[in-house]
Structure 1
Amino acid sequence: MKNNIKIWLIIALGSFVAASCVGDLDVIPLDPNVAVSETVYNTTADYKEGLAKLYATFAISGQRGPDGLPDIEGIDEGFGNYLRQYWNHQELTTDEAVLSWNDATIKDFHSQTWTATDGFIAAMHSRIMYSVALSNEFIRVTADTEEEEILRFRAEARFLRALAYSHGLDLFGTMPFVTEENLPGAFFPERISREDLFAYIESELLEIRDQLGPAKFEYGRADQGVAGMLLAKLYLNAEVYVGQARYADCIAALEPVLNGPYQIADQYLHSFVADNHTSPEMIFALTYDGVETQTWGGMVYILHAQIGGTMNAIEMFGTSDAWSGLRTTSALVNKFDMDSDSRALFWTDGQSLEIDDVGIFSQGYAITKFRNRKLNGDLSDSNHNVQVDTDFPLFRLADAYLMYAEAVVRGGGGDQSQALSYVNILRERAFGDASGQITSSELTLEFILDERARELFWEGHRRTDLIRFGQFTDGDYVWPWKGNVAEGVKTSSHRDLFPVPANQLTANPNLIQNQGY
């Protein structure tokens, strides 16, 4: 088993109904079998178990994996998983992924035709607020502690709340806003503007950064390196979020990461296999274990949905399931040197490059990036026939290298030669020698956007990247079935943000719909 924070589901927290109203009664239940903060937290170990549930909200779906006691209601538990929803919002809406299934409105993501009544968008919004609500409670119950380890737990909870709010900032712009200061009771949370939410997340990360553990102190937990990465992400996208260039701040936030205890793995695949917790470039991952963290979302979804057609699920991926769903478009494939770039992890046997019908799995190249076998080919430690050990790499060093290069090219200062060196380190790994290296004149913004696709595809960055480069909706770049047209067309720029879900607007009169919806 992995030496990381265990996601034990010990605390009976019950289901969180997807609504903006917070309705709690400040009482302790008479039933001794119902656990609440006043009765659960007696030892440091208790607090760590409570903290584990906060991490679990991003990885799994409920109180009893893989299904049975969901965290949120109104959607199938597997569909409602945080990572599954976040990944779909970030990837299915872009050139990097299509899905053949006919589940409700899921195809509207790739065609960019979603509406405010979309259940998947509502689930993402509710997931963010669920994670915020649980973090708030943990932060409240640790307010008076003076024990050093529990203070660190509290800082981690604040980081996880900032992480969830950062997803809200990116996906929805504005959010209902609650912190530990909003005591239990019935009220309508106030709407926070995008500018104020950006400032709040920034201030939280700056305040807690030194309170977190040193980089890599325990795998799977938020530490100073992780906080630096999220802060750098915030600054890299500041022009989109608040209309201010913060590229110099991005470089400054990256410095402790780039000088930290991370290294580029010798093999690209090391970060995407069942023992990817041993990858030296992993900065922060959502952790999975085939026995202890079971779900029908998360990495189980991403890994199994990529398998189909002529692929051998057991032999190649270490699992018995092939869900025949996810593929990619020719727009991504054409960015690669298929003969030389080791990152070109496409399955072509029985697959066509072009897509005439998104609903047919054999149309569009399949992806072989994520695997439930170890780097050396052995089966995973859990050796579960469906549930996986493969962690999801939320932040890794290759991303930091490309962020630094982009911030330098965008005029944030830094060192041009260092930026070029970082990019060429990644390309030398990809090509196996110096043949793929570029020169300083080739290090342009256009090149960086494409290189981010080559290096980071299917890791949950693409929508945000395309928006930052002005290419997600009404830019010059189109891809197959963008705008629900086979060759792709521009779409309206209001889709750079998702709508505030209609059920949230009904539940909370303080919220306002995003423009264009």
Structure 2
Amino acid sequence: MNQKFTRTLGMLALGAMLLPVASCNKDLDQIPSYSANAEVVYKTAASAEQVLARLYATFAVSGQTGPAGSPDISGIDEGFSNYLRQYWQLQEITTDEAILGWNDGNLIYVNTLQWNADNEFVRATYDRIFYEIGLCNEFIRQTTDARLSERGVTDSDAKLIRQYRAEARLLRALSYWHAIDLFGGGPFTDENSALGVNPPYYTRQQLFTYVENELKNLDKGKVLLNPRQVYGRADRAMRWTLQSKLYLNAKVYTNTDRSADAVVYADSVINAGYTLTPTYANLFLADNNTTGANEIIFPITFDGLRTKTYGGMTYLVHAAVGRAVSASSAGINGGWAGLRAKPQLTSIINNTSATDSRKDMVFTRGQNPNVDTIGVFSSGPLITKYRNVTSGGKPGSDTVGDFPDTDFPMFRLADVLLIKAEGLLRKASPDKTTALALINQVRARATGNLSSHTNDLPALTGDGLDDVFNERTRELFWEGQRRTDLIRFGKFTSNYNWPFKGGVKAGADVPATRALFPLPTTDLVANPNLAGHQNPGY
């Protein structure tokens, strides 16, 4: 199969069944040693599950043979091209939370919010999103009831494949949400789209409506797995979490407040039996698939022996290590000395009680507390959030120390509790009492004692939104949420600055159009249907 990614989505006639499968789920580590056509691959649930594993793996790995050598997409170094790595960078190093000091290509312009439509890091994120959508479309296209009947799939296997199909639809909705949030509008295809035809442009409102309807309709008959049934799978709780996030940001996306709807779906998750992990740090260690399993709603899963990549958690663990933070403390064989924090982040993290353990992840020894130079690793505090050691202090399964076992918690309960708190404060009739209790529930866990009140906020300040914003900062820093939060709170392009924002050392406002990334020039050229639809300012 030609591995070069054609960026026009409608031209993506991908047979997902032809792709070698690399497992991203520890329960789906079946790797077929053959390539087969759709009539064979989708004939049994066992073989269809292998293709499903590839849909999950696309968030974690970068190509056909880990860690590098046969990339899914071209035009950028394979390690840089990884979905999670690029998504995290656009969400974090564009903000007050992180800076990446490497001098690679046009990376500096991502740090400074000065990218353009030819920036390879922006383009790689766009390509990854629509590559995943294309893979999901093909899986969904091949697993209709009519196709299963034509192939003589047994009733028991057909029932399982319908569940897998629902999971694929949910993963596709996740990627479309990323497209809505990062790029606004863009090319649209689903399983009914003709192959070999340029896809139409959908506005942000059109994509929002599509994802909203897809999420509402996708679990009719309760086909998806129940919450907490299988760790690492796209289940009903992931669906509810995605809906709550879509609605919490609806005012940004569609200019219509949907805070009340965000609260409804947050409640569905909260009532599903999840609990906060007693020790905050355990959520980000090599055994978080067990110690954090009852809080993590949807992870991007990694395994040091099975999911080898230079993106994903390999990047997040290695790139933050260097100088006085030793590689051995992070359970790896060497640091990459790239990622640091900005003082605005550490100021908010540290502005809490003495019992708050989240402060322990800010490392300042030998570091300049300010970011005076982008490319100097001593410039800015270090963050020790992600490590490849277990809660018992043992290193991960890769004894060489290259590739971590640590999973990335994309959705977790603490986030949902704060979504509900924010939604309650933004509703037409705010409920400050319940919102404060939710915030204090999260703050109590940070003390290591879920019943503790030593870290409580005694009351909300004003309308309470600054309190929930600051708590999201302390709880969710470096988890790929910051840019979206700053935009929703009106702090991303103006009203709040940080080092090198706008290319100015002290930080400066940037045009409001920077709240969206541009559609890449490559896709504008490849697909005439995108002509005239470039995002404003580019």
**Normalized against structure 1, the TM-score is what?**
0.93
1:247-293 residue CA offsets vs partner (Å, 9 max, x unmatched): 11101111120111210111111110001112121111000000111
Alignment of structure 1 residues 458-477 onto 2, 5 Å:
458-474=478-494, 476-477=495-496
Q: Which residue of 1 aligns with 2:287?
A: 275
Which of 320, 336, 339 is the matching residue for 1:323?
336
Q: Which residue of 1 aligns with 2:6?
A: 17
1:99-128 residue CA offsets vs partner (Å, 9 max, x unmatched): 110011111112111011101111111111
Q: For 1:477 and 1:25, how far apart are their aligned partners in 2?
A: 44
Change in Cα spacing, 1:460 to 1:14, as seen in structure 2 (3 Å) is: same
1:381 touches 1:389 (CA, 8 Å); kept in 2? yes
Shift in Å, 1:409: 0.6
Q: Does 1:500 align with 2:514?
A: no
Which of 326, 341, 350 is the matching residue for 2:356?
341
Q: Which residue of 1 aligns with 2:95?
A: 94
Alignment of structure 1 residues 197-212 onto 2, 5 Å:
197-209=207-219, 210-212=222-224
Gaps of 5+ in 2: 19-32, 149-154
1:307 touches 1:323 (CA, 8 Å); kept in 2? yes
Which of 294, 307, 310 is the matching residue for 2:324?
310
**What SS does the aligned partner of 1:393 have?**
strand
Q: For 1:259 and 1:180, how far apart are their aligned partners in 2?
A: 33
1:325-345 residue CA offsets vs partner (Å, 9 max, x unmatched): 000100001112375421121
Q: Which residue of 2 aligns with 1:486?
A: 505
2:42 touches 2:143 (CA, 8 Å); kept in 1? no
Q: Which residue of 2 aligns with 1:115?
A: 116
1:330-372 residue CA offsets vs partner (Å, 9 max, x unmatched): 0001112375421121111211101211100011001100010
Which of 223, 228, 235 is the matching residue for 2:235?
223
Change in Cα spacing, 1:33 to 1:332, as seen in structure 2 (3 Å) is: closer
Q: Which residue of 2 aligns with 1:9?
A: none
Say which is worse superposed, 102-111 or 381-390, in terms of deviation: 381-390
Shift in Å, 1:25: 9.6
Shift in Å, 1:435: 2.6
Q: For 1:102 and 1:35, how far apart are their aligned partners in 2?
A: 42
**Normalized against structure 2, the TM-score is what?**
0.90
Q: Which residue of 1 aligns with 2:379?
A: 363
Shift in Å, 1:318: 0.7
1:355 touches 1:363 (CA, 8 Å); kept in 2? yes
Alignment of structure 1 residues 127-138 onto 2, 5 Å:
127-138=128-139
The residue type equivalent to 1:51 in the other structure is L
**What SS does the aligned partner of 1:171 have?**
helix
Shift in Å, 1:42: 2.6
Q: For 1:276 and 1:441, how far apart are their aligned partners in 2?
A: 32
Q: Does 1:447 align with 2:467?
A: yes
Shift in Å, 1:417: 2.8
Q: Which residue of 1 aligns with 2:45?
A: 44
Q: For 2:55 and 2:460, how far apart are their aligned partners in 1?
A: 45
Q: For 1:67 and 1:441, how far apart are their aligned partners in 2?
A: 50
Q: Which residue of 1 aligns with 2:264?
A: 252
Which of 374, 388, 394 is the matching residue for 2:404?
388
Which of 270, 289, 300 is the matching residue for 2:303?
289
Q: Does 1:437 align with 2:453?
A: no
Say which is worse superposed, 383-392 or 195-204, in terms of deviation: 383-392
**What SS does the aligned partner of 2:409 have?**
strand
2:9 touches 2:131 (CA, 8 Å); kept in 1? no
Q: For 2:238 and 2:8, how far apart are their aligned partners in 1?
A: 30
1:13 touches 1:35 (CA, 8 Å); kept in 2? no
Alignment of structure 1 residues 113-262 onto 2, 5 Å:
113-144=114-145, 145=148, 147-184=158-195, 186-209=196-219, 210-262=222-274
Change in Cα spacing, 1:40 to 1:271, as seen in structure 2 (3 Å) is: same
1:248 touches 1:414 (CA, 8 Å); kept in 2? no
Shift in Å, 1:83: 0.3
Q: For 1:431 and 1:53, how far apart are their aligned partners in 2?
A: 39
Shift in Å, 1:164: 0.5
1:277 touches 1:391 (CA, 8 Å); kept in 2? yes
1:21 touches 1:507 (CA, 8 Å); kept in 2? no
Q: For 1:88 and 1:141, how far apart are their aligned partners in 2?
A: 34
Shift in Å, 1:384: 4.4
Shift in Å, 1:37: 2.0
Q: Which residue of 2 aligns with 1:67?
A: 68
1:147-175 residue CA offsets vs partner (Å, 9 max, x unmatched): 22111100000001100010000000001
Shift in Å, 1:20: 4.2
Q: Which residue of 2 aligns with 1:514?
A: 535
1:426-463 residue CA offsets vs partner (Å, 9 max, x unmatched): 11222454232113433711121111111000000000
1:226 touches 1:283 (CA, 8 Å); kept in 2? yes
Alignment of structure 1 residues 73-84 onto 2, 5 Å:
73-84=74-85
Q: For 2:442 and 2:434, how far apart are their aligned partners in 1?
A: 13
Shift in Å, 1:21: 5.0
Q: For 1:37 and 1:493, how far apart are their aligned partners in 2?
A: 46
The residue type equivalent to 1:299 in the other structure is M
Change in Cα spacing, 1:436 to 1:33, as seen in structure 2 (3 Å) is: closer
**What SS does the aligned partner of 1:335 have?**
helix
2:8 touches 2:199 (CA, 8 Å); kept in 1? no
Q: For 1:41 and 1:25, how far apart are their aligned partners in 2?
A: 15
Say which is worse superposed, 17-26 or 301-310, in terms of deviation: 17-26
Change in Cα spacing, 1:337 to 1:489, as seen in structure 2 (3 Å) is: same
Identity score, percent: 44
1:420 touches 1:440 (CA, 8 Å); kept in 2? yes
2:432 touches 2:464 (CA, 8 Å); kept in 1? no
The residue type equivalent to 1:47 in the other structure is A
1:246 touches 1:412 (CA, 8 Å); kept in 2? no
Q: Which residue of 1 aligns with 2:29?
A: none
2:233 touches 2:298 (CA, 8 Å); kept in 1? yes
2:129 touches 2:178 (CA, 8 Å); kept in 1? yes
1:454-474 residue CA offsets vs partner (Å, 9 max, x unmatched): 100000000000000111002
Q: For 2:102 and 2:400, how far apart are their aligned partners in 1?
A: 25
